[in-house]
Amino acid sequence: MKIVSYNVNGIRSALNKGLLDWIKAESADIYCFQELKANLEDIDTAAFESMGYHGYWYPAQKKGYSGVGIISKVKPNDVQYGCGLEQADFEGRVLQLSFDHFHLINTYFPSGSSGDDRQGYKMGFLHDYLSYMHTKFEIPHSNLIVAGDYNICHKEIDIHDPKGNKNSSGFLPEERAWMDKLFEAGMVDSFRHVNKDPHQYTWWSYRANARNNNKGWRIDYINVSDSMKDKIRNAVIYPDAKHSDHCPVLLELDF
């Protein structure tokens, strides 16, 4: 089972940059998209269906903003749009699919980089989201996968300039402490489970030629519950896939 998570920074823009050809070549079983920036009627859903995927889309109510989607070769047993957190559901941030062997949550976590109000909302969302996970799932034992753009670098190894960004949203001590709590609760960073190398990033600023110089941040994850740790076969970052300011991440599981 191959699962990809990808912040496409606008699904229509990514499609215009060759996203479909990349999907055909990679042919993963499930793709989790974040930041659709499109209403359902603006997404070429038929293009994904023609490749054998079932599509599930949860756009934000605000036009051209946020939104998540999942395409899957395997039809899920259940689909849940949202998570019951009013603002998050208004912004189209959480989409959940249940399969025979696992429960998948695709999440576009808020960014706090635009100012104090959004940073405050981000921290409130993180608190409520973890509470939701604790309430709904027995995390270590639940065969849970949480994919998405977390908008947080966990460790210094995950960011090109940890000292220079120590006061930047996405690398603040309280955000990193929340990631600690997530993993202490029984989630596993699948990429770091198999890859301990530095300079592995999933997002780059458009400024100062950051991507070509690999001055990036690793803020996109496919984390799994501890019960699935032994099923991790591989975890990969694809920096050469350039349909967005992010790049895709892949998790391969062996059931």
The residues carrying an active-site annotation are 149
Residue ranges of alpha helices (H) inside the chain are: 11-16, 19-26, 45-49, 86-90, 116-136, 173-184, 190-194
Structure tokens at 13: 């823009």
H helix and E strand count, the chain: 7, 14
Q: Tell whether the torsion through CA atoms of 184, 189, 190 and 195 is positive or negative.
A: negative
Q: Distance between CA atoms of 172 and 8, rounded to whole angstroms?
A: 24
Strand-by-strand arrangement of the 2-7 sheet: 54-58, 68-72, 30-34, 2-7, 249-253, 232-237
**Integer Cα distance of 123 and 104 in angstroms:** 23
Strand partners, 99: none
| Closest residue by Cα to residue 95 from 164, 162, 146 | 146
- List Cα–Cα distances, 172 to 54, 109, 205, 214, in angstroms: 38, 15, 18, 21
CA distance 92 to 83: 10
Neighbours of 73 (CB within 10 A): 15
